[in-house]
Amino acid sequence: MAFGLSTYPVVYRAKYGKAGWKGGFIEKEHKRPEEEAALKAKERDALVEGRNCYADLPLVNYTTQYGFSVFEGLKALPQKGGGLAIFRPDQNAARFKRSMEGLFMPPFPEDQFVKVVADTVRKNAKLGFQPRYQAAWEKDNYMTADSVYIRPFTYAEGGIGVNISYAPWVMVICTPVSAYFSGGTSDAVVTERVRATPKGTGCFKSAANYTIAALAKHEALEKGFMECVFLDSETHKYIEEGSSCNIFFHLKSGELVSPALGDTILPGITRASIIELARGLKLKVSERKISVEEALIETNECFVTGTAAGATPIASLTYKGKKAKFPGFKKGDLTNALQTTLKGIQHGALPDTKGWMYQVTAK
């Protein structure tokens, strides 16, 4: 299924004005999930499409015209002991606030973010819109597990001239999601495109950042690769991140390296979690510059991380026609260990000793 625009019926919407943020929940047209599944395709598509339409929002605004928007992505995951829990929503709340401030928008309060995200999931679950834990997911390390994808985002007020948004909406929607990367190839290629430049918006989760990422990812897929990798804009020498994920290299020396954060790299929440887990394994973890040449020669295992990706292994990296296969890909000792621990915590199969999971529906 991966991502699918089968938006759940309950959404949250708030508007910023003179009195601050004011909002509430909207329940769009729906049937019971099993009734919707039984509909003819045309009827089901019409129902889902209607849930994605809002006649009272301005068509021409700073978001639709200039990509002036920020968003977040987080998951509510079925728990082995029952119910749904969200992975580290406080961290998404903090990043959402930083991104809004970075684009000079009035920030959405962090505590309110966590509450409305949880309430949106909870209200949809009460209507039956939630996945159930399946023991079969454990067999492939939860790579094909279903979850609720939560997308908070901003939508600007009406406007046609190039400008910032002073009175945006914040919306929270939910949709089902499973494996992000499709089966088959696990190869990556270095793109010649540039994702972000210094003093730009690369460190914010800005909608506009993803245009270049979408183009580069499309080109990679057309060439038979699973993912693309971006280099820095100044020297075109150092690796930064993937199309929508951070990247790690487990070197033959035993060092685990992820490119150092700066104003051109998004500070991933899964990335930070993996670093914490790796350090718990007493590994040498470095956040530093890593050149593409070093990565091609010295890497044993490579993987990418993100809300959707989890910790997904990369089999090879191609740069200017030169393909380096990573010898540890088939065994994947470290990648598998980190993925097993991360997914185990996220799905309640392992104890949450770090307090990362936020329970939203009853066990």
- What amino acid positions are annotated as catalytic residues? 205
Contact, 210 vs 71, CB < 8 A?
A: no
Q: Nearest 10 degrees: CA dihedral of 281, 284, 290, 293?
A: -90
Residue type, 44: R
Q: What residues contact 41, with CB distance under 8 A and at least 6 apart?
A: none
CB proximity list for 42: less than 8 A, separation 6 or greater: none
DSSP 261: P
AA letter at 139: K
Angle at 284 between CA 307 and CA 289, to 5 degrees: 70
Closest CA to 159 of 71, 54, 64, 20: 64
CB atoms within 10 A of CB 19: 6
Distance CA 73, CA 319 (A): 30
Report the DSSP pairing between strands 322-325 and 227-231: unpaired
Closest CA to 12 of 159, 160, 171: 171
* Nearest Cα to Cα of residue 11 among 97, 120, 143, 110: 120
CA distance 262 to 254: 24
Beta sheet of 246-251, edge-to-edge order: 285-287, 256-258, 246-251, 299-306, 310-314
Amino acid (one-letter) located at 114: V
Let me know if 362 is exposed, middle or buried by CB neighbors in 10 A (0-12, 13-18, 19+).
exposed
How far is residue 114's CA from residue 94's CA, in Å, rounded to a whole number? 10
